[in-house]
Amino acid sequence: MLNKLNYVIMVKDSLVPEVVILRLPLYIRALSQMSQEGQAVISSKSLGSRLQITPAQIRKDLSYFGRFGKQGRGYKVDSLIEELTNILGLNRQWNSCIIGVGRLGKAIINYPGFVPEGFKIISAFDNDPSKIGQTVNEIQILPIDQIKSSVEKNDIKIAILAVPAAIAQNVITDLIDTNIKAILNYAPIAPKVPTTLILRNIDPVLSLQSMTYYLD
């Protein structure tokens, strides 16, 4: 059965709303900044003020995963960072691959922000014969028909898709038969995926189009 992003996802033994999961990385980023600023303990009010989220919402979000902090004392910043990092599985390295090595694909490969956060691009694939064998940031571009073997060999769980919209669904359909568990999709389509696959779509054009409503 095919569908879009599930409203809820299973995390350990409880159902957690998707919107809560999406906020957890924001909490980690803000807490990391606070830690760098020398703050050892924070309240839900101070964290909410930085993120423009109500303290009640923050407390509710965290309650899905257990008890954090003490009433009237707040949260220990470094401890909360560690707990949230563990919840999101960011305490390990996630091997990733990129499919489509055009201008966008090359920019993604060269982006230095992935590795420090635990994401390493191991392999790159393209169907353009002129690109096969080339190297981008020490990663050799392989033909698309080698995706399955490379994914299995390198324990790759995440695929980043930077291909034209016309072939994106076909590529995703092929990925279903591999060990890929999550796809970050830059192609301007809303692909169909099985419920067993996590999908995130990134389309800056849609974001820009929604902003112009508010402009003169």
Number of folded domains that form the chain: 2
pLDDT value at position 66?
83
Which of 87, 107, 139 marks a domain boundary?
87
- Whichever domain contains 75, its CATH number is 1.10.10.10
What pLDDT digit, counting tens, does each position of 163-176 carry? 999 999 999 999 99
- Evaluate whether residue 216 is within a structural domain: no
pLDDT band at 88 (very low <50, low <70, confident <90, very high): very high
- Whichever domain contains 150, its CATH number is 3.40.50.720
pLDDT band at 4 (very low <50, low <70, confident <90, very high): very low
Assess whether 34 and 81 both reside in one domain.
yes
The parent domain of residue 105 ranges over: 94-207
Identity of the residue numbered 105: G
Tokens representing 37 are: 């600023």
How far apart are alpha carbons 84 and 28 in whole angstroms? 7
Assess whether 56 and 98 both reside in one domain.
no
Residue 212, SS3? helix
What pLDDT digit, counting tens, does each position of 135-157 carry? 999 999 999 999 999 999 999 99
Q: Is 50 exceeded by the pLDDT of residue 116?
A: yes
- Evaluate whether residue 58 is within a structural domain: yes
Tokens representing 55 are: 């303290």
